[in-house]
Amino acid sequence: MGGLDFAVSVNDPRQQTPLVNFNPFTPDSLLIQSATQQRNNRKRAHWNDSCGEDMEASDGEGEEEILPPSKRITMMENNNNMMSRYTSEFLELEKIGCGEFGAVFKCVKRLDGCIYAIKRSKKPLAGSVDEQNALREVYAHAVLGQHPHVVRYYSAWAEDDHMLIQNEYCNGGTLSDVISENYRRLNFLSELELKDLLLQVTQGLKYIHSTSLVHMDIKPSNIFISRKSVPNCDECNEDDELTTSIVYKIGDLGHVTRVNNPQVEEGDSRYLANEVLQEDYSNLTKADIFALALTVVSASGAEPLPTNGDKWHEIRQGKLPAIPQLLSPEFLGLLKLMISPDPSRRPSTSALIKHPVLLTAARMSADQLRVELNAEKFKNALLQKELKKAQLARAVAEEKVLSTDRILTRSTVQSNLRTSRLIGKKMNRSVSLTIY
């Protein structure tokens, strides 16, 4: 797992040690463990001068929290005059996205030949408010690690006062792209597909929430899609039809914050829960649930969500926007529960995954896996059958050759015997006469 590539030396006569940034999303247990190790080494725990005023750690046994430094290493301190890492390590193929933060490029890494998505800030961030937002995304990615429904992070670095983040490339674009295309064609995701979307994103959110973090900006443009082609046939030949398996992944972690002691940056107002707007941060995980429900509603073909006004308030009062397709009352009831004005009534990610309405989607995923497994088993059975046929044919051919050889050998022996007799009959017998 790649980390934040920020490290500089301190021009301090007392010590020449490299500095590192403090990651505010690191679990407290790691911080406490680090402090314990420092105490065991009988070293005074304090923050380096360049990170603000020295803060001496408490010697008490009941210490519960290590305070972060008031300042962090800036992007400007990380810049250097070396050759551009972006141009030296990556070959840019195309621009695949553009947002508030910056542009995203599809690139091939020159060393491993794999494709990645490189996000580059639009403008220099060093010293700006946006710099901390950019670092927030890096911190969150680094702490979260790998999950099938969270976009994978590889590394990040600063270059010419711009932040660059190397992430997993998702070949299906974003859910926002799919919604726009479906809206143009008036061909929306079915209820089963909507349930699959809800289930997969909920699994990603459950993982994020399990680390005591919240996303705070769930929306279609932050849901990325990976498409994988799998055989959909009996004999799985090269010319057989393929079906596409879709995996949804949560990305863009620029608004992530901790559940405890949160530093909230409000996300898209169209998906923002009312309690967050009122600065009530006591149920932040449920704010993600609210936004997820409206994300699914958007994917169902509903009109674009309002940014404010009466309709905006109606949604915050628990009224679902009009959906132009017939969905089951049970599914609509679940979506309505997810946007309840009372955050405590909204289901948690764990409750959502176990909800009876989503069991169909879970069974669908399991059934799809079984279908693929059975296809592989059938393919292997056919290969075994063909192999046995080939072995039998080879054995028959070898037996035929041996039989022919035996017949030819027998015929040759008999012919030689007959020839010997004929030669013997024609020979002149020698007669010896003795005359006395």
pLDDT in tens, 177-190: 999 999 888 889 99
d(CA 190, CA 299): 9
**Measured between alpha carbons, how far is residue 109 from residues 286, 321, 325, 409 in Å?**
39, 44, 44, 68
Residue 104 lies in a domain: yes
Q: Which of 300, 295, 191, 190 has the alpha carbon at shortest distance from 248?
A: 295
150 is in an annotated binding site: no
Same domain, 119 and 264: no
> What mean pLDDT is predicted for residues 375-401?
75
Q: CATH no. for residue 278? A: 1.10.510.10
d(CA 138, CA 252): 10
Q: What is residue 161's predicted lDDT score, i.e. its pLDDT?
A: 81
Same domain, 147 and 186: no
Q: CATH no. for residue 127? A: 3.30.200.20
Same domain, 139 and 201: no
Catalytic residue among 130, 161, 217, 288: 217
* φ and ψ of 362, to 5 deg: -65, -40
62 is in an annotated binding site: no
Same domain, 140 and 241: no
Q: Which domain, by its residues, includes 293? A: 172-414
| pLDDT tens figures, 409-420 | 777 766 666 665
Same domain, 257 and 308: yes
Residue 34 lies in a domain: no
Residue 46 lies in a domain: no
Residue 62 lies in a domain: no
Indicate the DSSP class of residue 222: G
| pLDDT tens figures, 423-436 | 555 555 555 555 54
Share of the chain above pLDDT 90, in %: 47
101 is in an annotated binding site: yes
Residue 206 lies in a domain: yes
Helix axes 329-338, 356-426, angle to 10 degrees: 120
The amino acid occupying position 25 is F
Same domain, 144 and 193: no
By DSSP bridging, strand 102-109 and strand 90-98 are antiparallel
103 is in an annotated binding site: yes
251 is in an annotated binding site: no
Domain count for the chain: 2
Half-sphere exposure of 19 (CA within 13 A, CB side): 22
Looking at 6-15, 127-136, 311-320, 340-349, which range is the least confident one?
A: 6-15
8 is in an annotated binding site: no
pLDDT surpassing 50 at residue 168: yes
100 is in an annotated binding site: yes
Which of these three, 169, 194, 213, is where a domain ends? 169
Contact between residue 113 and residue 124 where contact means Cβ atoms under 8 Å apart: no
Same domain, 241 and 161: no
Grouping H, G, I as helix, E, B as strand and the rest as coil, residue 248 is: strand
Same domain, 115 and 176: no
Q: Cα(first)–Cα(last) distance of the chain, in Å?
A: 121
- Concerning whether 217 is annotated as a catalytic residue, the answer is yes
Same domain, 374 and 265: yes
Which of these three, 137, 169, 201, is where a domain ends? 169
Same domain, 258 and 374: yes
Indicate the DSSP class of residue 49: G
Same domain, 130 and 208: no
Residue 426 lies in a domain: no
Contact between residue 298 and residue 272 where contact means Cβ atoms under 8 Å apart: no
Strand partners, 12: 15
Grouping H, G, I as helix, E, B as strand and the rest as coil, residue 213 is: strand
Residue 44 lies in a domain: no
pTM: 0.68
Residue 420 lies in a domain: no
Same domain, 193 and 305: yes
Hey, how many other C-beta atoms are within 10 angstroms of the C-beta on 2? 15
Contact between residue 108 and residue 90 where contact means Cβ atoms under 8 Å apart: yes
d(CA 426, CA 421): 9
204 is in an annotated binding site: no
Which of these three, 115, 148, 169, is where a domain ends? 169
Q: What is residue 50's predicted lDDT score, i.e. its pLDDT?
A: 38
